[in-house]
Amino acid sequence: MSEGRTRAEHYPGPMHRPPVHLEGTHVVHTHGHHPKLQHHFDTMAQQTEASTLGMWVFLVTEIMFFGGLFMCYLVYRTASPEGFAEASHHLNVLWGTVNTLVLIVSSLTMALGVRAAQTSAPPKTQALWIVATMGLGVVFLGVKAIEYIDKFNHHLVPGPYFKWEGKHPATAEMFYSLYFCMTGLHALHMVIGLGIMTVIGVMALRRQFDADYYTPVEVAGLYWHFVDIVWIFLFPLLYLIGGHFTE
C-alpha cells in the first residue's frame, strides 16, 4: 500500500478533500483544514453555526424552565397582590440593586472577553477578562449568601420554623418559597457558569483562541448573558413590588 493511499484513508471524513501535490511518483495529501475543525464538519463556519445553534436550543429549554416559575409567580401574585407586596417589603432593595449592577458589568467584561478572542488578543488579556467576569460572579453569589443568611436569621425560610407577624402569613410563606426557588436556581446556574468560565480561562491561557477559532468563548458568553438576563427579570418581580406596600 502506498504512502499516499494510507494517508488518504486516515483523513477524517469523505467531504474533507485536502490539497494534493506530487512528490516524485507519490501522491501526497496535505491537511488544509483548521486543527480545531472536528471530523464531522466540513468547514469552521459550519462548526461555529452548529455550536451556536446548539447553545440557543439549550437556552430555549432554559427559558421554558424559568418560564414555568415565572408563570407560577404571576398566578399567586395575582391572587394576593397585597400579601406579595408585604412579603417583598422585607427584602433588601439595596443588595438587589448592587447585584443587578454587578451582573450588568459582568456582561460587559464577558463581551470584552469574547472580543479579545475574536481579535487574537494576547492570552493573558483574554484570560483577564474571563477572570474579571468570574470575580463579579463570585461577588454576586457573596451578596446572595448575605441575603440568605439574613432570611435564615429572621425565620423567613418556608417550613416548620417560618414566622411572619404581618397580615398575610400564608401568602408571605408562598412568596418566600418562590423567592428561594427562583433565586436559588439562578444562583445554581451562576455556579455552573463559573465552572464553564474556569475551563474557558484555562484554554485562553493555553493559547487556544484566536481570530479563526473563538467559538467556545462565544458560546460560553451566550450562557453567561442568559443568566444575567434572568436576574434582570427577577429583580423587579421580587424586590421592587415591596415599594407598593403601605403599613
Kindly tell me if the per-residue pLDDT of 33 is higher than 90. no
Percent of the chain scored above 70 by pLDDT?
A: 78
pLDDT in tens, 98-136: 999 999 999 999 999 999 999 999 999 999 999 999 999
What's the pTM? 0.80
pLDDT at position 52 over 90: no
pLDDT score, position 40: 57
Cell 412579603 belongs to residue: 87
| Per-residue pLDDT band at 18 (split at 50, 70, 90) | very low
- How many CB atoms within 10 Å of residue 82? 13
pLDDT at 247: 56
Kindly state the cell numbers that stand for 239. 424586590
| pLDDT (0 to 100) of residue 15 | 40
Cell output for 58: 439549550
Phi, psi (deg, nearest 5) at residue 163: -130, 135
Find cell 418556608 and name the residue: 158
Contact present, 72 and 96 (Cβ < 8 Å) = no
Averaged pLDDT of the chain? 83
Q: CA separation (Å) from 46 to 11, 52, 57?
A: 19, 10, 16
Task: Spell out the SS3 assignment of the chain.
Answer: CCHHHHHHHCCCCCCCCCCEEEECCEEEECCCCCCCCCCCCCCHHHHHHHHHHHHHHHHHHHHHHHHHHHHHHHHHHHHCHHHHHHHHCCCCHHHHHHHHHHHHHHHHHHHHHHHHHHCCCCHHHHHHHHHHHHHHHHHHHHHHHHHHHHHHHCCCCCCCCCCCCCCCHHHHHHHHHHHHHHHHHHHHHHHHHHHHHHHHHHHHHCCCCECCECHHHHHHHHHHHHHHHHHHHHHHHHCHHHHHCCC
* Better-scored residue on pLDDT, 195 or 8: 195
Q: Is the dihedral of CA 63, 64, 68, 74 positive or negative?
A: positive
Task: Tell me the C-alpha to C-alpha distance, in Å, between residue 8 and each of 2, 4, 54, 110, 178.
Answer: 10, 6, 31, 42, 59
Would the pLDDT of 147 be above 70? Answer: yes
* pLDDT the model gives residue 119: 93
Q: Give the residue with greater pLDDT, 44 vs 79.
A: 79
Query: What is residue 210's predicted lDDT score, i.e. its pLDDT?
Result: 87
The label of the residue with cell 449568601 reads 145
